[in-house]
Amino acid sequence: MRIATWNINSVRLRVDLVTRLLDEAAPDLLCLQETKCEDGKFPREPFIERGYTHIALSGMRTYHGVAILSRLPLEASEIRHWCGKEDCRHVLVRLPNGVEVHNVYVPAGGDIPDPEANEKFRHKLAFVGEMTAWWPDVRRAEQPMILVGDLNIAPLENDVWSHRQLLDVVSHTPVEVEKLTAMQASLGWVDAVRHFVPADQKLYTWWSYRARDWAASDRGRRLDHIWVTPPLAPALQGARVLREARGWLPKPSDHVPVLVDLDL
DNA sequence: ATGGTAGCGTAGCTA
């Protein structure tokens, strides 16, 4: 089974890039974030045509939005809300093989890394904290589960272009990294990508639109993740970050797809 | 130290 995650930054604007990924990488499931699209306006047809007939949506106008496109049947799907907001950041599905897939879009957190001064940063920390407490409450580490999405945190030193220079930049601050690490520990989640790429190797999934030349400066961050619970770790077959998609024309997303293969 | 770009929706918010 191949699963992919991609922050698409408007699914309607980039529907042709999504179909390109489906055609070239042929994932069984594709989890999208930042669809920025109400469910009734979601462009289902190009995906259905390609066999992705099972679609779970949690979308809204203008902001956020998550979606799961699947060519495997979905036995159940559910939308979850966090921090008392209905802001379309989490949809989950159950597959026929019993695996549960969670697609999450963690709040970006604004620019100021101070929860007192910045409500967005406070929301980000609260979001991850709430979810961390929730996992052991409702699920067990023995259940086969996959968590994917734009977690908006780059936890390791080599998940950013400069650990030292990003220590006080939202996405890589110690307080965020601690929060994400605590969530990972909550059910013993295994980082499926770092399972294959050594921690001393730089790895990014996002490059800012603001760089003059994203590839030349290469100031990236690894914000997009795929985690699995311990029972799925032995099934991990490989992982890929599709860096070349950052250059897909005419209008690339600032994030690239992340893919993991499992022997399931 | 600062400003740089992008999407939505048509101003200003979010990233």
* Domains of chain A by residue range: 2-262
* pLDDT tens-digit series, residues A7-36: 999 999 999 999 999 999 999 999 999 999
Cβ of A62 near strand B (under 7 Å)? The reply is: yes
Does A2-262 carry CATH code 2.40.440.10? no
What's the CA–C1' distance between A163 and B4, in Å?
A: 21
Which residue minimizes Cα–C1' distance to B3?
Answer: A210
Whole-angstrom distance, CA of residue A42 vs CA of residue A260: 25
Q: What DSSP state is assigned to residue A247? A: G
Whole-angstrom distance, CA of residue A142 vs CA of residue A226: 18
Give A10's Cβ-side CA count (13 Å radius): 8
Whole-angstrom distance, CA of residue A191 vs CA of residue A198: 11
The pLDDT, as a whole number, for residue A155 is 98
Residue A38 and residue A59 in contact, taking contact as beta carbons nearer than 8 Å: yes
Grade residue A121 by pLDDT with cuts at 50, 70 and 90.
very high
Whole-angstrom distance, CA of residue A116 vs CA of residue A152: 20
Nucleotide nearest to A12 (CA to C1'): B7
The region that residue A171 occupies, defined by phi over 0 for left and psi between -120 and 50 for alpha, beta otherwise, is left
Grade residue A114 by pLDDT with cuts at 50, 70 and 90.
very high
Grade residue A69 by pLDDT with cuts at 50, 70 and 90.
very high
Cβ of A64 near strand B (under 7 Å)? The reply is: yes
Nucleotides of strand B lying closer than 7 angstroms to a protein CB? 3-9, 12, 14-15
3 state DSSP class of A31: strand
Kind and range of the H or E element at A86?
A: none
Cβ of A124 near strand B (under 7 Å)? The reply is: no
